Structure 1
Amino acid sequence: MTVRLFLPRPITERMKAGLARAGNREIGGVLMARQLMPGAFEIVDFSVDELTGARAHFVRDHAYHNEFLNAFFDQTGRDYANYNYIGEWHSHPGLPVLPSVIDLLSMEDLVNGERDIPFAALLVVRSDVPTEFLAGATFHQRGIAPQPVQITAER
């Protein structure tokens, strides 16, 4: 099954704005989506931690993102069937939008760990100049090797 992520223009514009503020530091957070059909998801919101990233490393602050998750689920009436966590995202300023070995291991720990998350996507983005928005993603599922994700981003 090919997994697809749709990034509407307001999402890409918000990401680009955060990337511009971060400059050459990595930033990231969690991705929230609604399922359009099996294997196809529209990103509807995301958190962004612009403080903890370094030049080539980002680890999200769990407390900050847990607050975001609680607020998101309150806004959507805790309608988990339609709106839910789909994965993680972070930037690779000046680098390819491919996950690093550390990124892949982190996602594998997420889906194969104790958190009862059967699958998750990892979105890696870059916008080194205002007109640029590059994105790559992998899909991680318990017991299965990571798969590429097809991305459609409105510009």
Structure 2
Amino acid sequence: MKSIFNTLVFILLLSLQAQAQLVQGFIKINEQSKVELNVPNGKVVNLYADFRENKYPIVFSFTCVDVPLNEDKKEVVQFVFVTTVKRDGKVIATSKRSPIPFFPGDMLMPSETFDFISILANLASNSPEQISQIPKGNYEITVEATAQGVKGKIQPAVLFLKL
């Protein structure tokens, strides 16, 4: 009987540990996890302007459970942002940022957080007349956030460009 009790206590402790320090959330662009973007004239500078003018707001949102409080008695989680750009199904670039601390909740994020504007801008060597021209193709851009030292999942967002 004692071994059954010890086994149940052990299982209970494991289940509590499995739920400890958990984050959940999403990245959405224009309130969607998958969005097709319009790129006027095929120039990344026009796409960048659309993001700056909030035509495509990027929202990063997360909640957390049992994350230890910092010295200011606030929950803080560090995230690494990763951007993957594919052209016609082939990965052409990946960008990974250093960890950045965030408080739980909803945050508007600038496009610069994910580096896809600079990746697209540097795909071709353009003349001054064609500066920032994106080469023709079908692009898929995945933006992700990964919590450091905490379990859980942030649902990524995917942007599609057809030029």
Q: Normalising by structure 2, report the TM-score.
A: 0.33
Larger Rg, first or second structure (1 or 2): 2
Query: With CA pairs under 8 Å and 6+ residues apart, which has the higher RCO, 1 or 2?
Result: 2
Q: Which of the two has greater strand per residue?
A: 2
Q: Normalising by structure 1, report the TM-score.
A: 0.34
